[in-house]
Structure 1
Amino acid sequence: MTSPPTAAPGTVRLTTAQALVRFLAHQYTERDGRRQRLITACWGIFGHGNVAGLGQALLEAGAQGADAMPYLQGRNEQAMVHAAVGYARQRGRLSTHAVTTSIGPGATNLVTGAALATINRLPVLLLPGDVFATRPADPVLQQLETPWAGDLSVNDTLRPVSRFFDRIWRPEMLVPAALQAMRVLSDPVDTGAVTLALPQDVQAQAHHWPADFFADRTWHIRRPHPDPDELARATDLVRAARRPLLVAGGGVHHSGAEQALRHFADTTAIPVAETQAGKGSLPFDHPAALGGIGHTGTAAANATARRADLVIGVGTRWTDFTTASATLFTDPQVRFVNLNIAAPDAHKLAGHPLVADARTALDQLARALAGHRVPTAHEQQYRRDADQWRRAVDDAYAAPDGAARPTQAQLIGVLDQVLQPRDVLVNAAGSMPGDLHKLWRPRDPQQYHVEYGYSCMGYEIPAALGVRLAAPDREVFALVGDGTYLMLPTELVTAVQENIKIIPVLVQNHGYASIGGLSESVGAERYGTAYRFRAPDGSYTGDPLPVDLAANMRSLGLAVLRADTVDQLREALREARAADRPTAVYAETAPPDPTLPALAAHAWWDVAVAETSNRPAARQAHDRYRDAKQHQRHHL
């Protein structure tokens, strides 16, 4: 029997998987003089496509020493990506996790999580197994056969949702591919999901690697300064405006620009509205804070938006929810200044671009505007609107009868009482993101963690794990509806296994409440949105299903506290917060009060309505839709 070849001088003989794991352990990011690991752990579910490659490599790396790569055991591949994304967002995109899966369904389960990461511009490294590069037997188990493309595999579904994709057909391909992957993960403009597809035989194949491949490597996170001419033009536009408004997006948080924004608002008195991703950019009680903007925004922010003659977008993508499907900014002469590190976003709405890092540019713009302040009449008007809105939120939060079942708004109000400023509230889908965007009162820049770029059901529980791993000193509440819970509860088992203290708050309202309301508004009459038995006419309008989701959570190992009333909810949340292990709170909610102004939609959203129908509800909805469409405009 021959002995393995000896490594050449200056090289290290490892398998491709071992080399990748060692390489990842030595990658760092640095911003503002602070250095941290880029990839701090690897989630994994193993099968024949990765068990002998990355599985063996992670086992060998262990959790100690300079080459350590901690391993985290997941239950669902999509959920593992959500956990990594939650971690990355909490760490300001400076660190993230890797995720490895087998070939086949494990790999394709990554697609939803990858889309979420890329849409929200949050870094995550995906390492799915792939077919045999050497084709010893063809096809292999779980291989997609495509007659016209022999090199196609199911992993190609990850191409459109990845910011960088490569397949490592030979070991030596890993070196340039791995470096490109790190470049994208650490790039503040291009970041998102990065996929390195790893054929299973290549993972296990040994190669002589240059030792320098495993040296510590630091990726500097740049803060581009604005172009002087762009800055001068933006300054002139702000000085000329009589009713300016600033819209803070997720880029404020990604840049760590919250203090710069606060100083800008303090010195100029320009009011600040926030997108879902930008919420918490200002404390809720700041004099210039107007809260959420757009279809799920506050009456104060949207009224100010309709009056605005200049809108300064900071780190926002200007999605349809933010612009109320291009109906919100109604002043005929309204102009836009878009401060964004990504040039495509800076040019949206035919705005004046200010392509730069948010913190850097806000600091420079504040200096350029030294001594400038908005007209007194504008400041007085938006402050009156903000005060009126705060009273509307007080009314929505109020629960006169502590023995009654809480409405969803009252539940949010109780959470507002119980959570401490450094606690984190995680949510993503259903009716709660809209109510939270309107009602939540953030006291810390990282308290509000709502994923609304993809609004992905199932995100909340795994993302809460990632947040808690990133910030073990913060209590993390995952606000979960019954619909989203049933889609992806699996990582509760991981929370129990690892004793990762999260607090799921499961809100039972017996169906898809958000889509039910939308369905009613567009003439679809809540069809197929309730979790109920079929009635004699075949519709889902019978009794509620006898599903006990509290018992389900308990069966997965959680402590579960039931709360039937407002007072019980308050006590249960406090008890869960004080617990030393994962503890859930289960509550059923009462229907919302339709008379409360805080719960109304204060701006439109374009959802196409049937142009013809034999049902009156659809015909009436189309009449309303036709009227609203008349207010849409292209900003030129």
Structure 2
Amino acid sequence: MAKIRLTMAQALLRFLDAQYISVDGEETKFIRGVMGIFGHGNVTGIGEALERSPGDLILIQGKNEQGMVHAAAAYAKQKNRKQIFACTSSIGPGALNMVTAAATATVNRIPVLLLPGDNFASRQPDPVLQQLEVASDYTVSANDSFKAVSKYWDRIVRPEQLMSAALQAMRVLTDPAETGAVTLALPQDVQAEAYDYPAEFFDKRVHYVDRRPPAEAAVKRAAELLMSKKRPLLIAGGGVHYSEAMRELREFAEAFGIPVAETQAGKSALAWDHPLNVGAIGVTGALAANLLAKEADVVIGVGTRYSDFTTSSKSAFMHSSIQFVNINVNTPDAAKWGGAALTCDAKLGLKALSSALAERGYSSGYENNEVSDLKRRWDAEVERLYSLEHQEGLAQTRALGVIQETVDPNAVVVCAAGSLPGDLHRLWRASEPKTYHMEYGFSCMGYEVSGAFGAAMAEPGREVYAVVGDGSYLMLHSELVTSLQESTKITVLLFNNHGFQCIHNLQRAHGSDGFGNEFRYRDRETGRLTGGYMPIDFAAHARSLGAKAYKASTADELKAALEQAKREQITTLIEIPVVPGTNTGNYESWWNVGVPEVSVSEKVVAAHREMKAKIQEAKSY
């Protein structure tokens, strides 16, 4: 048996460079490269291997470890999980910076491979710089923090362990149901240790992702359940995109006259102007979808995990005999709400169920024009919000209307946190699949700029826009510099409303007067942050980093800036001052956030009573 003597780090890169994925007969190189920030815990191990023997893997130099993992996750998301980046960091703080982004990837079922450096396995330099010493268990390091947020975790304390660990890592990374963050903790000394690896370990390896068909009996049960239902509602989740089942979704809806509502992850699976697309559902939902949800007697969930935002904290579905049919490749998601579970690939599940319903002559029982009237009513509301003028300045919904009419239909908008996800979910009119890139499984502040960079790498032929609030931008914007370094243009649309206004609104809706959420100076008399707004010049900040930047305070200025941004060749930021509180509100939805039963404020106590009443109306499980 032929052997190749390599360090563990060299062997890891050589293995990763030979991994491919095959979906529907289309073969794709699975690992595009490595995003990394070097420190003493990885620079002489993985760093040396990337410098001297990277194969076809490219290195993207991150500027913040969390940011680079967000970028890697966004890249994989935009690629429908067919190609990924690995991410490497040093030990200690560098590794821990990746934990939040690892959780973001896992919650959203996005594959990322994390390669943090770790303490010396030999313990010769004990404790090494940045080592977290746990006196009761010396096998614990900072990297144990990844266990809670990883779908697979391992620590390679001997170079030969790499072989079994790497194969397990690939099993999880390419599993459509169980994918997420995979962490291989790499002790600093073991990265540099050599071993005689079998040559076949580095042979090209193709991981076949075979579509899982539904069980015939499960299809029959689902079809028989639906035959007694007249008001079905189809909910399109992110699994529709990953299964590439957009055509099957449309054909299923058209065949049986079933309206389609969209989750944040499912949005853009069906064009906004399709007659059966009733828009966003749930807490950030549209009026049409939420009204239909209240009276639906059956919900057909496709590729959705039924988050509390989708279900309005289990208050969205009020029909006395509501039942569920769940098409999902993930078994726990398919079982939610006690539904008739089709644990299968979304495309195959829709096809099979469609055939079964056609054989039985099924059609929905909606009255003539019922769905179209609701859709027309909502479209009028969107137009009203898009054209809304405000005497104090630019309204947030007006700014979004200008952006909608100016950017190209095939452009990708990226967002994650604050009030903007709600506005975009309700209002944004996506015409083409994969043009709406929302990270809302974790709603992680700071994802937006990094995510836009990752999406732009995945979609070099499209304009990519990061739609971000000032709060999220301040939290994490470092990969803006990386986009400049890589000549990968993104356009950052920074909505400046002077603080964390989404949570400020949430406070005031539940009895608070508003506290600690605006970017104001401290008032010397009250001791609170109630002074004037801080005058932060975000456009100047972006210019100082090397980007082009503009400021647009009116609709006309915004349109002009957007047109100019299209002509720019490098990353561009447009600062858009908007009036706080001019985002959209709820439409027939509720979100349970928990309100104190006891307070010195009667407004809070009253809000608690309202919450208790809503809980009584909602489903308890």
TM-score range, shorter chain: over 0.9
Could you tell me how far apart the structure 1 residues matched to 2:553 and 2:312 are? 36
CA RMSD of aligned residues (A): 1.5
User: Which of 595, 600, 617 is the matching residue for 1:609?
Assistant: 595
State the distance in 2 between where 1:604 and 1:374 align: 31
SS of equivalent residue, structure 2 residue 291: helix
The Cα of 1:382 is off from its aligned counterpart by 2.1
* Cα drift, residue 578 of structure 1: 2.3
Matched ranges for 1:499-510 at <5 A:
499-510=487-498
Q: Encode CA deviations 1:498-546: one digit per residue, 9 max, x unaligned.
A: 1110000111000001000101112232211111112321222211012
Is the Cα contact below 8 Å between 1:522 and 1:607 reproduced in 2? no
Q: Secondary structure at the match of 2:176?
A: coil
Pick aligned residue for 2:273 from 272, 285, 289: 285
Q: Which deviates more from structure 2 when the two are superposed, residues 573-582 or residues 369-378?
A: 369-378
1:47-446 correspondence to structure 2 within 5 Å: 47-62=39-54, 67-370=55-358, 372=361, 374-375=363-364, 377-378=366-367, 380-399=369-388, 405-446=393-434
- Matched with 2:611 is 625
Rounded to whole Å, the distance in 1 between the matches of 2:587 and 2:127 is: 54
Residues 533 and 543, structure 1, Cα contact 8 Å, conserved in 2: yes
Normalised to the residue count of structure 1, the TM-score between the two structures is: 0.95
2:521 matches 1:529:
no
Unpaired segments of 5 or more residues in structure 2?
A: none
Q: Does 1:542 align with 2:531?
A: yes
Q: One-letter code of the match for 1:233?
A: R
Question: Is residue 293–residue 301 contact of structure 1 (8 Å, CA) maintained in 2?
Answer: yes
Query: 1:399 offset after TM fit, Å?
Result: 4.8
Question: Are the equivalent residues in 1 in contact too, given 2:19–2:30 (CA < 8 A)?
Answer: yes
Rounded to whole Å, the distance in 1 between the matches of 2:366 and 2:144 is 57
Identity of aligned residues (%): 47
Name segments (4+ residues, structure 1) moved above 6 Å: none
SS of the equivalent of 1:370 reads helix
Distance in 1 (CA, whole Å) between partners of 2:313 and 2:365 is 31
Q: Which runs of 5+ in 1 are unaligned?
A: 1-8
Whole-angstrom distance in 2 between the partners of 1:404 and 1:563: 15
Matches of 2:530 and 2:614 in 1, distance apart? 31
Deviation string for 1:396-416 (max 9, x for gaps)?
Answer: 011569x98321111111111
Q: 2:14 aligns with which of 8, 18, 22?
A: 22
Correspondence 1:497 to 2:480: no
Amino acid at match of 1:558: A
Report deviation, 1:581: 1.0
SS of 1:52's equivalent?
Answer: coil
CA contact (8 A) 1:404 1:565 kept: no
How many residue pairs match? The answer is: 619
State the SS of the aligned residue for 2:44.
helix
1:169-191 deviation line (CA, Å, top 9, x unaligned): 00000000001101100000110
Aligned partner of residue 453 in structure 2, secondary structure: helix
- What's the offset of the Cα at 1:160? 0.8
| Conserved 8 A contact 1:86-1:464 | yes
Q: Does structure 1 retain, via aligned residues, the 8 Å contact 2:389–2:398? A: no
Decide whether the 8 Å contact of 2:230 with 2:366 is kept in 1.
no
Letter in 2 for 1:392: E
Matches of 1:592 and 1:326, distance apart in 2: 26
TM-superposition CA deviations, 1:234-287 (whole Å, max 9, x none): 111222211000111111111111111011111111011011111111100111
Matched with 1:6 is none
- The alpha carbon displacement at 1:137 in A equals 2.1
Calculate the TM-score normalised by the size of structure 2. Answer: 0.98
* Aligned partner letter, 1:609: V
Quick check: 538-547 or 270-279, which moved more? Answer: 538-547
- 2:561 matches 1:569: no
Distance in 2 separating the partners of 1:552 and 1:593: 25
| Contact 1:248–1:275 under 8 Å retained in 2 | yes
**Contact 1:270–1:373 at 8 Å: present in 2 too?**
no
**1:43 is the counterpart of 2:35:** yes
> 1:115·1:161 contact (CA, 8 Å) conserved in 2?
yes
3-state SS of 2:410 partner:
coil
Moved more, 368-377 or 35-44: 368-377
**Could you say if the C-alpha distance between residues 591 and 487 of structure 1 is closer, same or farther in structure 2, counting changes exceeding 3 Å?**
closer
Q: Is the 8 A contact 1:244 1:270 kept in 2?
A: yes
State the secondary structure of the residue aligned to 2:45: helix
Residues 545-570 of structure 1 show CA distances to partners (whole Å, capped at 9, x for unaligned) of 12211111111111001111001101
Give, in angstroms, the shift of residue 419 of structure 1. Answer: 2.0
Q: CA–CA distance in 1 between the matches of 2:388 and 2:282?
A: 27
